[in-house]
Amino acid sequence: MTAPAKEQTTTTTWTGQSLPRKEDERLLKAQGSFVDDEGMYRQGYAQFVRSPYAHAKILSVDVSKAEALPGVIATLTGDEVKAMTEPLFQFAPKEDGSQVNEYLLGVDIARYQGEGVALVLAETRGIAADAADLVEVEYEPLPVVTDGVAAAEPDAYVLHDSLGDNIAWKGLFDWGDIDWALENADHILKIDKLHFHRYSSTPIECNAVIVNWDPGTDMIRVVSNNQFPMFGALVIGPSMGVGTDQFDFVSQDIGGGFGIKINSYTSIGVLALLSRKAGRPVKWIETRTEHHQSGGHGNERTFLDIEVPVMADGTMLGFKMRAFDDAGAYLHYEPLGAVIWSQVVPGPYKFKHVQVDYTETLTNKCPAVPNRGYSRMQHLWFVERVIDLVAQELELDPVEVRKLNYVQPEDYPYTTPNGCVYDSGDLPQALDMVLEMIDYEGAKKLKADREGSGKRIGIGIGTTLDSGTNNFGQSRILNPELPFSGNGEACTALLDLYGEVMLKLGTNPQGQGHETTASQVAADILGMSPETIRVWTGFDKSHSTYIGFSGTYASQFAVTGINAVIGAVEKLKAEIIEVAAYAFEVEQDQVELVNGDARIIGNPEAAIPFIGIANMVFANNATLPHEMAERVSLTCRHVYVPPFELPDVEKKYGNLTLTYSTQTHAAVVEVDEETGKVEILDYAVVDDCGKRINPMVVEGQVHGATGLGIGAALKETFEYDEDGQLLNSNFLFYHAATAMDVPNIKTSHIESPSPFTGTGAKGMGEGGGAPLHTISAAIQNAIGPGKAIVSDSHNPPERVWRMLNWDGPAEERGVTVVSNGDGA
Amino acid sequence: MLLAAVDYYRPDTLAEAVEALDSTEGARPLAGGQSLISILKLRAASVDLLVDISRLEDLRAIAVADDGSVRIGAGVTYDEMAMSPDLHRSHPRLSQVAAHTVDAQVRNRGTFGGNLCHNDPINNFPPVAVALEATMHVTGKDGDRDIAAADFFTGYFTNALSSDEILTGVTLPALNGRHMGYQEIEIGEAAARAVAVVATSNGNIESASVALGCLPIPVRRPQVEEALAGTPATADAVAEATAAAGEGIEPLSDADASADYRQAMASVVAKRAVMEAIEGGQNG
Ligand SMILES: Cc1cc2nc3c(=O)[nH]c(=O)nc-3n(C[C@H](O)[C@H](O)[C@H](O)COP(=O)(O)OP(=O)(O)OC[C@H]3O[C@@H](n4cnc5c(N)ncnc54)[C@H](O)[C@@H]3O)c2cc1C
């Protein structure tokens, strides 16, 4: 061959660039398509009739007046649903087989305010709303259980007779030797109680479904914004007695998911039943009030009787505690949360001795479902609260105590006490960076200066992890019989008839920029610009590619999705090269792909554009050897499978997630002594998610997660009264953070590539709830030692004011230090 | 949620509006609709006929009298209050409050009269009317009458009007050299609010009117006012005089804050409002 031409090939690397998102143009020009933008011919509008009681027997449901209203098409009651379906699949029945019996609609008993007990379908939304008002439901109120800890008491009123008690799952997690640690520690820090509150990331678009059960084909077409439709199909299919092959799930743009939108599968199921009964497509757009009352809340967790063995220098040996997770009235995706926290047992620290007596309970509240930071964030908040209190109570520097206990850069890959493998990171550097960003020394000076002014300064640090690409095998820790393990994602890369490159993903993103990042990595492999690569928008089960894990959840696209893209595009590249090499009559290693052409290396003149390759395969196949023409399809599917093994369910030990992003946050806050109001003066984030495929997309996720976390820390909470009535059922009473509440966020990054993902990238979208840790720490710092402790993740003005004004006896502070040798 | 079916009528004159309210069972005036429509959408109240008074000319003017008092039509929107040069001169702090009420959408439709009639404890203007000793002008089937602001508010979401009556306007006395302070603590919505109208001379407080909001009925605090009169206009003196501002009030408890907290905060906002009035020569 001739000497290389002077023209350079593939000079551009698209991966790693902050390319503007492909999605933004349509979204910013209001050209996106959300469920409510869609419709089906002859659709009716559904309205749920919902229980006003948190707990009540349903004595009767009379739909006759509703059905008599002009414009009403059909109704559906719990009794009808019970007759046509089976109870929903439960992850972890008790050993004797007892379990929660949940149907797709409330049957016999309503167990939370807002639970659907009947449905009406009408020609318009207005008529449906009027008709729902005409459905007469006779209730007999029952005792209400709203406290997730009290629910576990033997005398608690039992929600589900079929379960026998209110305990959804219970287990002891015991790693290392906590008794040894408690005996040998210099000090034991005892904390009475810490509480992580209930809130939601409240997607701006509520749940929405259009479903048509086609009487001719028996196919069930579901246009929805559910973010994990495969999971939904696996759960509702058997309940409804239909095959998963009957479901066609479709979604285009989704207005935020955050995990909450995994939960709409029960609505999808029951609306499908209504469609079948009515013989009409059914449209349902959830209202904000419905969303708050029944759309799903994040997990609320209470930590009790915490004991923390610590050495004099601040080295933490571990902890022991009891945890109670409040799952609400039904188990939607739960009790997976009972094990998912154990992906991050020691948080970012090296301690080895941990014992957690864990109980998940059922209460008369909205079901808890995954919410950004799912289950790990609660635990990580706990760990950060503990390390911060260790520093305060032992009069140590919170920075030094963290650095002392951090997993160090040279420790990676680091195996945690329960066998998880932290892949990479540099926490001490991240902490130094973030402290510099908030001018730590300046902030300390400001704090001193402001003393006595009525405004106190608090400085807080929050280190957190975002574990991504989970090993579904961890579900076997809940129930060894469960047939789930591993993880993965699919992609199909293809040339279309005129040689256009197209990718089909298994995911259905809600703003994560998958179209952009997928095209970036594909562009690098194919030697062309991302602009020329079409990533099929949205998901449609009838033509998209998928496996059982497909969906957009749990911080994993950068690993599972992107590796599926890489695998599929590599296969496509190989086929293109094979066809081209045949045409050029050269060896395959003599062919390269440049700007949409297959060329002989070093000879730009000898080029076949992709259209020519496509032509040979799709429309001119007599030019190819018959064997090749039948084998090469230019339609290449790849399933990425992360390298996981089954965990040891006895020891609750194994690698539960593939990657661990670290996030280090710091805040300077000002606390108004008179009112307890907290204002954020400065906020900084250092994110380390390994190799960033598109830094701007990462930045967007950092901002989003930080904003939601700040909202949760200071403003957002779901509160129930003792009757189980939700006090925040709309945005008048649920104070979602707005642009006014989120300060300018300073961001920076480290890139510690993951050795386990091929690309070095890690999942990072959920964000690990760091603002909750950080703001709790900052408020604690403002209040200072010897006073009340920050024991709740949510700190509205009154709570802070009460801590500032607390003057009880020292033993009621909620924290004590016992020193071994003092006769502990 | 969606509105249930309701009849709608937009009369051309005040007399027709009163007539419609008087003759129709279940009729209610509709002003900006920023509260009423939300309540109807939640199906928390039912109304048979909405009598839209939002475009009645009689309700739409801001007029300054020779004595410096200003009459604000009940149908004047917050935005119109904020943009009125007359109100800006006569009651600058009120103009500012109007300019910062909620958001542009609500300011474009929400009316001064609707805000007062609705008397939601979170509403901005009821304690302003009480602190300023405003006069409420009312027209009903039996003609016109005036009600003192202190007598207008009767409880949560209720007022002294009978079902045929319409609030047509509100007269605010001239400030005459006094200044108004308006302070609140917001927890999503206002949780505590105080309005103070203070006259000072030579570094002393001559007179003060202090009203608390975020209550079923906005209340004056006569003991605080007496304690303030004659004291030096200093932070310490004001703190002492307002320390008991929350005594005896019964605020509500909700998910945002308990009654105890709100009661404690009443003194904080009272102090801050008085201090703002003292310091706020430039704001008014
Ligand atoms: C998102 C949101 C947030 C809000 N936050 C605040 C806030 O922070 N502070 C605040 O002050 N307000 C707030 N509001 C309420 C708003 O100010 C309303 O506009 C006000 O309460 C009612 O005024 P309106 O003109 O819209 O009256 P409408 O809603 O039309 O009527 C309210 C009630 O008053 C009666 N009414 C109205 N006008 C008259 C009249 N002239 N004579 C007799 N009866 C009458 C009606 O019959 C009805 O019962 C908020 C509103 C929204 C939508």
Is the minimum CB–CB distance between B243 and chain A shorter than 8 Å? no
CA distance A577 to A610: 10
Assign 3-class secondary structure to A458-493: EEEEEEEEEEEEECHHHHHHHCCCCCCCCCCEEEEE
* pLDDT over threshold 70, residue A247: yes
- For residue B114 the two structure tokens come to 């609707």
Strand partners, A282: A44, A211
Cis preceding-peptide flag for B126 (omega within 30 of 0):
no
CA dist., res. A549 & res. A532, Å (int): 29
Using CA atoms, how far apart are residues B9 and B17, in angstroms rounded to an integer?
9
Within 8 A by CB and 6+ apart from A96, the residues are none
- In angstroms, rounded to a whole number, what is the distance separating the alpha carbons of residues A562 and A757? 10
Mean pLDDT (chain A) is 96
Size of interface A-B (CB pairs under 8 A): 50
**SS3 call for A527:** coil
Of B1, B4, B187, Cβ closest to residue A796: B187
Q: For A149-166, what is the mean pLDDT?
A: 98
**pLDDT at residue A466, as a whole number:** 97
Q: How far, in Å, is the centroid of ligand 1 from the Cα of B159?
A: 13
Interface mutation target, options B123, B261, B275, chain A, most CBs of A under 10 Å: B261
d(CA A310, CA A401): 11
Is the pLDDT at A175 greater than 80? The verdict is: yes
- How far is residue A92's CA from residue A169's CA, in Å, rounded to a whole number? 7
Measuring CA to CA, which residue among A64, A196, A189 is closest to residue A131? A64
**Residues A209-219, mean pLDDT to the nearest whole number:** 97
Q: What is the mean pLDDT of residues B203-222?
A: 97
Per-residue pLDDT, averaged over A675-680, amounts to 98
* Set of chain A residues whose Cβ sits within 8 Å of the Cβ of B2: 125-126, 129
Determine, for residues A675 and B265 on separate chains, whether the beta-carbon distance falls below 8 Å: yes
Calculate mean pLDDT across residues A500-520.
Answer: 95
Q: Contact at 8 Å (CB) between A366 and A199?
A: no
Residues with CB under 6 A from ligand 1: B 28-36, 38, 53, 74, 101-102, 106, 109-111, 113-115, 117-118, 120, 122-124, 161, 166-167, 189
Ligand 1 atom closest to residue B165's alpha carbon, by position in its atom list: 43
Closest Cα to residue A487, out of A646, A377, A333, A342? Answer: A646
Query: Do A181 and A375 meet the contact criterion of CB atoms below 8 Å apart?
Result: no
Among B185, B258, B262, B275, the residue to mutate for chain A (most A Cβ within 10 A): B185
Distance of alpha carbon B232 from its chain centroid, rounded? 29
- Write the single-letter amino acid at A577: I
User: Which residue's CA is minimally distant from atom 37 of ligand 1?
Assistant: B114
For residue A702 the two structure tokens come to: 């950092």
Domains of chain B: 7-52 (3.30.43.10), 59-172 (3.30.465.10), 179-279 (3.30.390.50)
Distance CA A345, CA B5 (A): 56
| Model confidence pLDDT, tens digit, residues A416-435 | 999 999 999 999 999 999 99
Tell me whether B4 touches chain A (CB under 8 Å): yes
Q: What is the ipTM of this complex?
A: 0.95
Q: Which atom of ligand 1 is nearest to the CA of B35?
A: 29
From B10, B118, B184, give the residue whose CB has the most ligand 1 atoms within 8 Å, as the site to mutate. Answer: B118
Question: Using CA atoms, how far apart are residues A516 and A561, in angstroms rounded to an integer?
Answer: 12
Q: How far is A323 from chain B (nearest CA, A)?
A: 25
Q: How many residues does chain B have?
A: 284
The nearest alpha carbon in chain A to B3 belongs to: A126
What's the distance, Cα to Cα, between the start and end of chain B in Å? 42
Confidence of residue B280 (pLDDT cuts 50, 70, 90): confident
> What's the CA gap between A793 and A772, in Å, rounded?
6
Residues 6+ apart with CB under 8 A from A298: A198, A199, A200, A201, A260, A368, A369, A370, A371, A372, A373, A374
pLDDT at A822 over 70: no
- pLDDT, residue B44, reads 86
- Atom 9, ligand 1: residue with shortest CA distance: B123
Q: Look at A218-222, A509-513, A603-607, A819-823 and tell me which has the smallest mean pLDDT.
A: A819-823
For residue B4, how far is its CA from the centre of ligand 1 (angstroms)? 19
Cβ–Cβ < 8 Å for A63, A77 = yes
> Residue A800 and residue A670: Cα distance in Å, rounded?
12
C-alpha–C-alpha distance, residues B247 and A197, integer Å = 33
Q: What are phi and psi of A501, to 5 degrees?
A: -90, 130
Q: Is the pLDDT of residue A6 over 50?
A: no
CB burial of residue A451 (10 Å; 0-12, 13-18, 19+): exposed
Chain B contacts of A715, Cβ < 8 Å? 188
- Dihedral Cα A366, A369, A372, A373, nearest 10 deg: 110
DSSP A616: H
Distance, in Å, from the CA atom of A480 to the CA atom of A474, rounded to the nearest integer, reads: 9
What domains appear along chain A, each with residue ranges and CATH number?
24-32+488-640 (3.30.365.10), 35-142+206-294 (3.90.1170.50), 170-200+296-473+647-783 (3.30.365.10)
pLDDT at A570 (0 to 100): 98
Backbone angles phi, psi at A47, to 5 degrees: -135, 130
Q: Residue A125 and residue B2: Cβ atoms within 8 Å?
A: yes
Examine the pLDDT at A26 and tell me if it is beyond 70. Answer: yes
Q: What per-residue confidence (pLDDT) applies to A2?
A: 44
3-state secondary structure of A166: coil
- Looking only at the bridges linking them, the beta strands covering B219-220 and A187-196 are unpaired
Tell whether B256 is within 8 A of chain A (Cβ). Answer: yes
User: How many Å lie between the alpha carbon of A114 and the closest alpha carbon of chain B?
Assistant: 14
Question: Given the DSSP bridges, would you call strands A597-600 and A591-594 parallel, antiparallel or unpaired?
Answer: antiparallel
Task: Say what the pLDDT of residue B281 is.
Answer: 56
For A100-152, the pLDDT digits (tens) are 999 999 999 999 999 999 999 999 999 999 999 999 999 999 999 999 999 99
Measured in angstroms, how far is the CA atom of residue A405 from the centroid of ligand 1?
A: 56
Interface contact flag, A126 B258, Cβ < 8 Å? no
User: Is A288 in the B-facing interface, judged by CB distances under 8 Å?
Assistant: no
By the 10 Å C-beta count (0-12 exposed, 13-18 middle, 19+ buried), A539 is classed as buried
Return the residue whose CA atom lies nearest to atom 28 of ligand 1.
B33
Identify which of A126, A719, A797 has the shortest CB distance to residue B2: A126
Distance, in Å, from the CA atom of A423 to the CA atom of A766, rounded to the nearest integer, reads 18
Using an 8 Å Cβ cutoff, are A782 and A671 in contact?
yes
Residues of A in contact with B185 (CB under 8 A): 675, 677, 797
Give the Å distance between the CA of A679 and the centre of ligand 1.
Answer: 30
Answer whether residue A823 shows pLDDT above 80. Answer: no
Nearest partner of A137 among A119, A152, A153, A154, judged by Cα? A119
Q: Tell which of A120, A146, A293, A735 to mutate to test the B interface (max B CBs under 10 Å).
A: A735
Chain B residues within 8 A of A801 when measuring between CB atoms:
261, 264
B142-169 pLDDT tens trace: 999 999 999 999 999 999 999 999 999 9
CA of B215 to the centre of ligand 1 (A): 16
Q: Output phi, psi for B151, to 5 deg.
A: -100, -5
Q: Are strands B153-155 and B49-52 parallel, antiparallel or unpaired?
A: unpaired
pLDDT in tens, A395-417: 999 999 999 999 999 999 999 99
| Three-class DSSP labels, chain B | CCCCCCEEECCCCHHHHHHHHHHCCCEEEECCCCCHHHHHHCCCCCCCEEEECCCCHHHCCEEECCCCCEEEECCCEHHHHHHCHHHHHHCHHHHHHHHCCCCHHHHHHCEHHHHHHHCCCCCCCHHHHHHCCCEEEEEECCEEEEEEHHHHEEECCEECCCCCCEEEEEEECCCCCCEEEEEEEEECEEEEEEEEEEEEECCEEEEEEEEEECCCCCEECHHHHHHHCCCECCHHHHHHHHCCCCCCCCCCCCCCCCHHHHHHHHHHHHHHHHHHHHHHHHCC
Distance CA B68, CA A267 (A): 62
pLDDT of residue B2: 84
Q: What percent of chain B has pLDDT over 70?
A: 99
Question: Which residues, 6 or more positions from A390, have their beta carbon under 8 angstroms from its beta carbon?
Answer: A189, A308, A310, A314, A316, A396, A401
Confidence at A12, pLDDT banded by 50, 70, 90: low
Name the percent of chain A lying above pLDDT 90: 97
Tell me the per-residue pLDDT of A741-750, one tens digit each, with 9 for 90 and over: 999 999 999 9
| Span of A347-351, A425-429, A820-824, B174-178 with lowest mean pLDDT | A820-824
3-state SS class at A442: helix
Please report, for chain A, how many H helices and E strands are present, in that order.
21, 30
Burial class (CB in 10 A: 0-12, 13-18, 19+), A632: buried
Q: Which residue has the tokens 């901002």?
A: A703
**Contact between B255 and A719 using a beta-carbon 8 Å cutoff:** yes
| Distance, CA of A575 to CA of A534 (rounded, Å) | 19
Contact A727 B254 (CB under 8 A): yes
**Please, which pLDDT band fits residue A278 given cuts at 50, 70 and 90?**
very high
The tens digit of pLDDT for each residue in A590-602 reads: 999 999 999 999 8
For residues A555 and A764, the answer to whether their CB atoms sit within 8 Å is yes
Task: Please state the rounded mean pLDDT for residues A653-667.
Answer: 98
CA-angle at A511, arms to A530 and A258, nearest 5°:
145
Q: Please identify which residue in the block is written with the tokens 């690569």.
A: A533
- CA dist A619 to A497, A577, A578, A629, Å? 8, 18, 17, 10
Atom in ligand 1 nearest the alpha carbon of residue B31? 30
Phi-psi region at B165: left, alpha or beta (left = phi > 0; alpha = psi -120 to 50): beta
Q: What percentage of chain A reaches a pLDDT higher than 70?
A: 98
pLDDT range class, residue A820, cuts 50, 70, 90: confident
Q: Which residues contact A749 (CB under 8 A, 6 or more apart)?
A: A686, A687, A688, A689, A692, A695, A698
Residue partners of A23: CB distance under 8 A and separation at least 6 = A32, A253, A509, A511, A513, A515, A516, A537
CB contact under 8 A, B187 and A287: no
